[in-house]
């Protein structure tokens, strides 16, 4: 059996998904979960892209020791310096440098000749190996590049010291046969290929990212780059969980295995979905809510007689258990702490105390509290701007008007510590809330997206609201959780505003630094 290394790029490529902006605490929590899942490498970010990204990558590298932490860099000294500075304290840190190799990218984006691109690629790898021997080099847009040019440049970057060579299908253009063929072509013609591992990185524009990733293994790839839930630029990346399960279920075909703890898949998928606000479609392979639902009578009958009739994946394999212990009113601190540990929730004393308090409040209102509820409560504590720098909801009162006009009265605490209140009407309760919050803020808010989800299926389920807003020239997302949809809506909007305020303040600092 061959070993396939899993390079997760949820925190870099995945974070580039439209509308996603993760808070540093959320990124760290996802990183810890990826470590638990057992990925071989996690790409934590692109440190040269912003001060915030740099700090977040650094924090992840300082925490994560069981897998390699990688950082992305363009082929410049500045980028490579920033990448190394951010990851150097991590376990087995990896610098990932890239440059485009396709005619269209070289000519129109880089405005460089192929010879200049080769030179720059070699220089950047040589520079990076001064810091570490763990250097990955990527040929951006490899699938639209000339294969013989790839042979030349790959040979040279391996000579310069690259130990992993990634051949991305950046624009999601390749078919499985072509992609496998490209890997085979390079394996056969690059003379020093035994000194490096080949890696695949696929985008899903044609819905082929997972198929292409799997095909690359047949072509000789030993590392697959992918993201949780397949999130990423445009149509997204190859989905980690689909690749992992395909390799596990069809082991005989691929003759390869990963080092992943498959039973962490569901939890990882839900955590990423919760923090990014990107919902997993119910029909999604492996992690969709319907992936194990049998609807037709014939199927149900078959599954009852023998599960294998219509089910090729055991739900327990990916960590879906139906016999989860449910907590309630009488569950004490000890049982609650055990449950949190089982769910992999990061806890320091202060956080545990707060979480337990919220849990107790919930048990006052409901008989049973599920794993999903606890994860939602924990997620609600992560990444919130608390204290003096943030807007905070103090009270909310909504009067629903059957004739179409609802009235909201809201009190908030401003970042300056003032208490302000206001009332406004709207064509519905949510609109009334948003009109009122708008009155409380000096600058206009434009609501771009609004979505409600429930944590469980019961009528007493917690409501989770996601919003995307434009405010002070920035786009930001926010989430709110509450027993009531209206409370969750108000909290989500204030959360988005608070996150945008962080960006505005960071921008102001940057502007002053640039003088
Ligand atoms: Zn990508």
184-198 tens-digit pLDDT: 999 999 999 999 999
CA–CA–CA angle 149, 154, 156 (5° rounding):
100
User: How many angstroms does the Cα of residue 220 sit away from the middle of ligand 1?
Assistant: 20
Q: What is the mean pLDDT of residues 164-169?
A: 98
* pLDDT at residue 146 greater than cutoff 90: yes
Distance (angstroms) between ligand 1 centre and the Cα of 171 equals 8
Where residue 116 falls among pLDDT bands split at 50, 70, 90? very high
Kindly report which listed range (119-128, 242-251, 500-509) carries the lowest average pLDDT score. 500-509
**Which DSSP symbol is given to 393?**
E
Which DSSP state fits 325?
P
Q: How many whole angstroms from 226 Cα to the centroid of ligand 1?
A: 9
The residue count of the chain comes to 515
The gap from C-alpha 212 to its chain's centroid, in whole angstroms, comes to: 21
- Calculate how far, in angstroms, residue 367's C-alpha sits from the geometric centre of ligand 1: 45
What is the per-residue pLDDT across 422-445, written as a single tens digit (0 to 9) for each?
A: 999 999 999 999 999 999 988 899
Token representation of residue 103: 């005619």
> Within a 10 A sphere around the Cβ of 387, how many other Cβ atoms?
9
Distance CA 53, CA 63 (A): 16
Can you say whether residue 420 is alpha, beta or left, with left for phi > 0 and alpha for psi between -120 and 50 degrees? beta
Parallel/antiparallel/unpaired status of strands 68-74 and 41-45: parallel
* Percent above pLDDT 70 for the chain: 96
How close is the Cα of 147 to the center of ligand 1, in Å?
Answer: 20
Span from the CA of 168 to the centroid of ligand 1 (angstroms): 7
3-state secondary structure of 368: strand
Residue 413, both tokens? 């605490």
Please report the pLDDT score of residue 341 as a whole number: 84
Distance between Cα 402 and ligand 1 center (Å): 49
Selected residue with higher pLDDT from 2 and 21: 2
Cβ proximity of 344 and 33 under 8 Å? yes
Instruction: Over range 25-31, report the average pLDDT.
Output: 94
309-320 pLDDT, tens digit per residue, is 777 888 889 988
Statement: residue 101 has pLDDT above 80 = yes
**What's the gap in Å between 14 CA and the centre of ligand 1?**
8
State the distance between the two ends of the chain, measured CA to CA, in whole angstroms: 58
Q: Is the pLDDT of residue 446 over 90?
A: yes
Both structure tokens of 85: 């500075």
CA 164 to ligand 1 center in whole angstroms: 16
More confident residue, 9 or 333: 9
Q: How far is CA 59 from CA 179, 242, 281, in A?
A: 36, 29, 32
Strands (E), 46-141: 68-74, 94-100, 135-140
Answer whether residue 43 shows pLDDT above 60.
yes
pLDDT attached to residue 383: 67
Q: Which pLDDT score, from 0 to 100, does residue 387 have?
A: 53
Written as six digits, the tokens of 373 are: 């509820």
Query: Average pLDDT, whole number, for the chain?
Result: 91
- Strand 41-45 to 94-100 pairing: unpaired
**Which position has the higher pLDDT, 199 or 458?**
199
In this structure, of 90-104, 145-159, 236-250, 293-307, the range with the lowest mean pLDDT score is: 293-307
DSSP readout, 439-500? HHSSS-EEEEEEEEEESSSSTTPPEEEEEEEEETTEEEEEEEEESSHHHHHHHHHHHHHHHH
Contact (Cβ atoms closer than 8 angstroms) between residue 117 and residue 157: no
Burial of 472 (0-12, 13-18, 19+ CB in 10 A): middle
Has residue 511 got a pLDDT over 70?
A: no
Look at phi and psi of residue 234 and say left if phi exceeds 0, alpha if psi is from -120 to 50, else beta. left
User: Does residue 96 sit in helix, strand or coil?
Assistant: strand
CB 42 within 8 A of CB 15: no
Q: For residue 13, how far is its CA from the centre of ligand 1 (angstroms)?
A: 5
- Residue 428 Cα to ligand 1 middle (Å): 41
Ramachandran sector of residue 313 (left: φ over 0; alpha: ψ -120 to 50; beta: rest): beta
| pLDDT-derived band at 298, boundaries 50, 70, 90 | confident
Residue closest to 225 by CA, chosen among 11, 7, 15:
7
Question: CA–CA separation, 65 vs 34, rounded Å?
Answer: 12
Give the residue-averaged pLDDT of 200-227: 98
Can you tell me whether residue 242 is helix, strand or coil?
Answer: helix
CA separation, residue 461 to residues 40, 122, 298, 320 (Å): 37, 56, 32, 20
Q: Residue for token digits 């840190």?
A: 93
Split at pLDDT 50, 70, 90, the class of 513 is very low
pLDDT band at 166 (very low <50, low <70, confident <90, very high): very high
Per-residue HEC secondary structure of 108-125 comes to HHHCCCHHHHHHHHHHHH
The encoded tokens of residue 236 equal 């997204």
* Cα-to-centroid distance, 201 and ligand 1 (Å): 7
81 or 326, higher pLDDT: 81
pLDDT by residue (tens digit) across 353-393?
Answer: 989 998 998 888 877 888 888 888 888 887 665 555 789 99
Q: How far apart are CA 464 and CA 444, in angstroms?
A: 24
CA of 194 to the centre of ligand 1 (A): 25
Contact indicator for 196, 163 with CB cutoff of 8 Å = yes
Q: Give the H/E segment covering residue 339.
A: helix 333-342
Which H or E run includes 5? strand 5-8
- The CB density around residue 59, as the number of other CB atoms within 10 Å, is 18
State which residues have CB under 5 angstroms from ligand 1, the bound ion: 13
Q: What's the confidence (pLDDT) of residue 515? A: 41
| Greater pLDDT, 276 or 58 | 58
Distances (CA, A) of 232 to 135, 280, 335, 513, 515: 23, 13, 38, 31, 35
Q: How far apart are CA 321 and CA 349, in angstroms?
A: 28
Residue 514 scores a pLDDT above 50? no
| pLDDT at position 457 | 65
Cα 28 to ligand 1 centre (Å) = 21
* CA 102 – ligand 1 centroid, Å: 15
Query: Taking residues 477-490, what's their average pLDDT?
Result: 91
Residue from 93, 53, 99 nearest 75 by CA: 99
- Span from the CA of 289 to the centroid of ligand 1 (angstroms): 26
């Amino acid at each position: 059996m061959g070993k396939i290394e899993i390079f997760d790029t949820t925190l870099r490529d995945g974070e580039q998904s439209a509308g996603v902006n993760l808070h540093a605490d959320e990124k760290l929590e996802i990183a810890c979960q990826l470590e638990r899942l057992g990925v071989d490498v996690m790409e934590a970010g692109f440190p040269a892209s912003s001060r915030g990204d740099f700090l977040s990558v650094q924090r992840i590298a300082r925490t994560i020791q069981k897998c390699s932490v990688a950082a992305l860099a363009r082929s410049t000294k500045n980028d490579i310096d920033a990448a190394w500075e951010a990851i150097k304290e991590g376990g087995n840190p990896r610098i990932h440098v890239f440059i485009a190799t396709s005619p269209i990218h070289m000519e129109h984006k880089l405005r460089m000749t192929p010879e200049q691109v080769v030179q720059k690629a070699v220089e950047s790898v040589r520079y990076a190996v001064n810091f570490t021997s763990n250097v990955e080099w990527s040929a951006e847009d490899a699938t639209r590049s000339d294969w013989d040019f790839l042979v030349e440049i790959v040979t040279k970057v391996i000579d310069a010291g690259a130990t992993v060579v990634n051949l991305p299908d950046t624009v999601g253009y390749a078919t499985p046969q072509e992609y496998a063929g490209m890997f085979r072509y390079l394996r056969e013609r690059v003379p020093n290929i035994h000194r490096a591992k080949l890696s695949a990185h696929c985008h899903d524009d044609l819905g082929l990212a997972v198929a292409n990733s799997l095909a690359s293994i047949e072509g000789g790839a030993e590392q697959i780059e992918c993201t949780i839930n397949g999130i990423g630029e445009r149509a997204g990346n190859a989905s980690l969980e689909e690749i992992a399960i395909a390799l596990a279920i069809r082991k005989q075909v691929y003759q390869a295995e990963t080092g992943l703890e498959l039973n962490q898949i569901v939890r990882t998928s839900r955590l990423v979905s919760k923090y990014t606000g990107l919902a997993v479609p119910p029909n999604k392979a492996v992690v969709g809510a319907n992936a194990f639902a049998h609807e037709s009578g014939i199927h149900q009958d078959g599954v009852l007689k023998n599960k294998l009739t219509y089910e090729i994946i055991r739900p327990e394999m990916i960590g879906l258990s139906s016999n989860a212990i449910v907590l309630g009113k009488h569950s004490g601190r000890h049982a609650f702490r055990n449950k949190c540990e089982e769910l992999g929730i990061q806890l320091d004393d202060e956080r545990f105390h707060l979480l337990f308090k919220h849990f107790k409040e919930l048990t006052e209102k409901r008989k049973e509290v599920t794993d999903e509820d606890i994860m939602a409560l924990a997620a609600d504590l992560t990444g919130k701007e608390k204290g003096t720098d943030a807007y905070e909801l103090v009270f909310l009162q909504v009067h629903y008007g059957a004739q179409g006009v609802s009235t909201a009265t809201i009190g908030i605490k401003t970042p300056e510590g003032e208490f302000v209140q206001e009332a406004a009407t709207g064509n519905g309760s949510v609109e009334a809330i948003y009109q009122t919050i708008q009155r409380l803020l000096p600058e206009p808010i434009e609501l771009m997206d609004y979505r409600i989800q429930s944590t469980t299926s019961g009528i007493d389920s917690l409501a989770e609201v996601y919003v995307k807003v434009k405010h002070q020239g920035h786009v930001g997302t926010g989430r709110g959780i509450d027993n009531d949809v209206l409370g969750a809506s108000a909290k989500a909007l204030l959360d988005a505003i608070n996150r945008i305020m962080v960006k505005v303040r960071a921008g102001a600092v940057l502007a002053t630094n640039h003088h």
